[in-house]
Amino acid sequence: MNSALWKSLMAVLTMLALATVAPAADTGKTNSPGKEEEPEPNFLITPQVRMIQVDGDKHKFREDYWMQDGWTGGIEEFSWHQMFGAKKDTLLEIEARGLYDDDDYMMKLQLVKPDFGFVRTGFTQYRKYFDDTGGYYVPFRQPYFDLQQDVSLLMGNWYVDLGLTIPHWPKITFGFEHQSKEGDKSMLEWGTVAQTISVPATSVTKNIYPNVKSIYESVDIFKADVEYDIGKVHMADQFRFESYDNDTTRADDTGINLTTGVFKPARIREDFSHQQFSNAYFVESHIHDKVYVSAGYLYVDMTGDADFNMATFYGVGTPVAGTDKFWLIRDAKLNQDSHVLNASVMFGPFWGTTLYAGAQVEETYTDAFSNSDHREGVGPSSVVLADTSTDKGRVQENAGIRFTKIPYTVIYGEGRWVRESIDVYRSVIEGDGAAELEQRTDGDIERDEYVAGFNTSPIRRASLTGQYRNSYRRNRYDHEIDFESGYPAFITDQEFQTHEISAKLTVRPHNRVTASLKFQMVDTDIDTDTQTLSAAVPGGNVNAANYRAKIYSANVTFTPINRLYLSGYFSLTDSQTVAFDNYLNAVQPSKNDSYTAMGSAGYAIDDKTEATVEYMYQRVFTFDNNGWSSNGRPLSFTPGTVNVDAGMPLGTDSTRRMFSAGISRRITKNITARLRYGYFQYDEPSGGNVNDYLAHMAMASCAIRF
């Protein structure tokens, strides 16, 4: 929707608000609290004006805080509800927000007449911003690239629901919803940059060039819901038809040679559309105060079409085989249908014991066909016909128990078991009739998960919760047919074993103090078996990865006096993933360490004036220089040279500070004015400080309430 329309809409809302202020105020004066039989109108409008000034990387600021810099203004909050009709029982309620320039708009309207029906409609729109900087590699003549683009994606939806709620009739709802995404988003598929280095004399290539993908996506959803109660049995049916269209264009592999100055982009355009029908039927009943049963059935049928067009040659001269590719999909069809059936039951509590169990069976079949054309250089086209199918059967069972008879304590346990079989078939035939790939894989998947925990509060001012989770997954693959030995059918067995414990202690030593401490620990081991492919790849079992994380969190709130509160929060995450890399130096462990400290305070200066402050400090240290200095690996590194054995530096070493202070003053009974100042600082030395920014925000708003 264009901005002029939005502005008009917000102007109408504002006029509606102003027009309503006077009568609403009068009504408010005549309504004493005791006269509850006269429904009182409730009206709130909060105009806002805001200014943000950013020094440094404004794109990074926008990405971090989802806000546009510069001046903006509009309606921060609008709400109005009114009871009307002969019986004063019909509700009209409107909520809205609209900030011009931020493209941040929301409106919800509902009209509800009890025992008859309702109309609900609304729209939402907001913008997601992206930074346009790629990677950072110090040895290059130009260590980073910045697209100098305002990259953002405008997301929105609008909907309308019409419902009938006539007593003793089925509750019927018809609706339509449109969702959209339009604009650009930054991608992690960074382009290639190369440069010849003198020591040692070689060419070094790193993927650091940023790219964006243009997206146009729309979804139209038609819905029809029916709910009905017969005695203690509640039945519901949800029907959905969804039409989806996605059109994307991206520059996927921008090759830049800093030595020769050659620039070589690749453009890829991809379309996909599908139509999907789904219907879910559900029945549930509290047969007895202590017995609950439910069952459901979901059917989904999807039919899709895809297009694809890629060209890696945009230069002059003659296209070269091997590098200049012209690939396109002439026709691709995808079909998927699913049947999902589930049932569950709960008994209790009997003598403090509640038992529950459930099962879900799923059968999903996907088949796809594509006819594509692969041409390289000036060579002839090669037609490739692909036919793939996946047949998945899945049974999931779960059972649990809760026990509350231990004084001031509840203990619980739950188990979940999944058994899945997957049959995958892939056939790829080239134009000359030769089979390029044929693969048939049978997969057997087992997933077992157990959870046990407790919550206890033996003394009034403290409670303690604890939980242990054990998760085990095993994927076994039997590659019955595998023409293209080596990939993708080379994994034969995978095991994922996870242990997780968490505990939280909450204490209230005084009515004015609450403190919570939480600790979590996760440890996952992944083991993989692969096929023997060649002398170079003997295959066998390997401990593929270990993931471990420890997370410490604490929160304290303190109200020393009625008019002052203080709140503090701290969280530290210490996590690491180490995957098997066969001792290749280019792969370093992935560390994801960070800590966040936040504090806030509110103080009532007088009966009409309140002040609040907030502060956040966040440190992220996940950067790995990957060979540029001693980092625990035995690298032969000499400063000033390039270590060709090293990989791409990744991760972040950054510090973020945010401070805001605000004051609000109740000017009259119905009008409250607010002023707020914000300070935002970001430092990222690991990115050469190109993403750093310092921002100041000033905001004024006025809440008018009647």
Please report, as residue ranges, which positions from 415 to 474 form the binding site for another protein (by CB under 8 A): 422, 426, 428, 437, 445, 453, 455-457, 460, 463, 465, 473
Find the binding residues for another protein in span 19-38 (CB under 8 A): 36
* Residues facing 299 on adjacent strands: 279, 339
SS (H, E, C) 501-534: EEEEEEEEEECCEEEEEEEEEEEEEEEEEECCCC
Q: Which of 172, 197, 410, 613 binds another protein (CB under 8 A)?
A: 410
CB of 414 to another protein, least distance (A): 8
Of the two residues 16 and 616, which places its CB atom closer to another protein in the complex? 616
Burial of 200 (0-12, 13-18, 19+ CB in 10 A): exposed
| C-alpha distance from residue 233 to each of 56, 201, 282, 287, 359 (Å) | 62, 79, 10, 8, 20
Beta pairing class for 255-257 and 171-197: parallel
CB of 264 to another protein, least distance (A): 11
Contacts of 419 (CB under 8 A, 6+ apart): 394, 395, 444, 445, 446
Q: Which two tokens stand for residue 360?
A: 């879900």
- Phi then psi dihedrals of residue 115, to 5 deg: 60, 25
Find the binding residues for another protein in span 121-140 (CB under 8 A): 126, 128, 135
Peptide bond into 349 cis (omega under 30): yes
**Residue 382 binds to another protein (criterion: CB under 8 A):** no
**Residue 698 binds to another protein (criterion: CB under 8 A):** no
CB of 211 to another protein, least distance (A): 10
Find the binding residues for another protein in span 47-106 (CB under 8 A): 64-66, 81, 93
Find the binding residues for another protein in span 137-196 (CB under 8 A): 188-192
DSSP string, 652-687: -EEEEEEEEEEEEEE-SSSEEEEEEEEEEEEE-GGG
In terms of Cα–Cα distance, which of 154, 163, 17 is closest to 95? 17
CB of 662 to another protein, least distance (A): 13
Stretch that binds another protein, among 46-54, 141-149, 160-168, 407-415 (CB under 8 A): 407-415
CB of 166 to another protein, least distance (A): 19
**Residue 598 binds to another protein (criterion: CB under 8 A):** yes
Q: Which of 142, 203, 485, 641 binds another protein (CB under 8 A)?
A: 485
Is-contact 206 191, C-beta < 8 A?
A: no
- Phi then psi dihedrals of residue 359, to 5 deg: -145, 145
Length of the chain: 706
**Residue 607 binds to another protein (criterion: CB under 8 A):** yes
CB-CB neighbours of 328 under 10 Å: 16
- Identify the H or E element spanning 700: strand 693-705
**Residue 370 binds to another protein (criterion: CB under 8 A):** yes
Q: Which of 249, 360, 381, 660 binds another protein (CB under 8 A)?
A: 360
In angstroms, the CA 96 to CA 69 distance is: 22
Burial of 87 (0-12, 13-18, 19+ CB in 10 A): exposed
Residue written as token pair 């909520």:
95
Of the two residues 39 and 47, which places its CB atom closer to another protein in the complex? 39
Find the binding residues for another protein in span 489-518 (CB under 8 A): 490-491, 494, 504, 516, 518
CB of 603 to another protein, least distance (A): 7
- Phi then psi dihedrals of residue 262, to 5 deg: -75, 135
Q: How many amino acids of this chain bind another protein (CB under 8 A)?
A: 182
Of the two residues 44 and 164, which places its CB atom closer to another protein in the complex? 44
Q: Which of 206, 375, 674, 676 binds another protein (CB under 8 A)?
A: 206
Find the binding residues for another protein in span 541-560 (CB under 8 A): 541-542, 544-545, 547, 551, 553-555, 557, 559
Stretch that binds another protein, among 82-90, 215-223, 314-322, 670-678 (CB under 8 A): 215-223
Of the two residues 22 and 323, which places its CB atom closer to another protein in the complex? 323
Find the binding residues for another protein in span 251-280 (CB under 8 A): 252-253, 268, 270, 272, 274, 278, 280
Find the binding residues for another protein in span 278-337 (CB under 8 A): 278, 280, 282, 286, 292, 294, 296-298, 300, 302, 304, 306, 308, 310, 327, 329, 332, 334, 336
Of the two residues 4 and 157, which places its CB atom closer to another protein in the complex? 157
CB of 20 to another protein, least distance (A): 19
Stretch that binds another protein, among 313-321, 620-628, 673-681, 694-702 (CB under 8 A): 620-628
| C-alpha distance from residue 572 to each of 205, 555, 592, 618 (Å) | 36, 12, 11, 10
**Residue 625 binds to another protein (criterion: CB under 8 A):** no
Find the binding residues for another protein in span 661-690 (CB under 8 A): none
Residue written as token pair 């911003």:
129
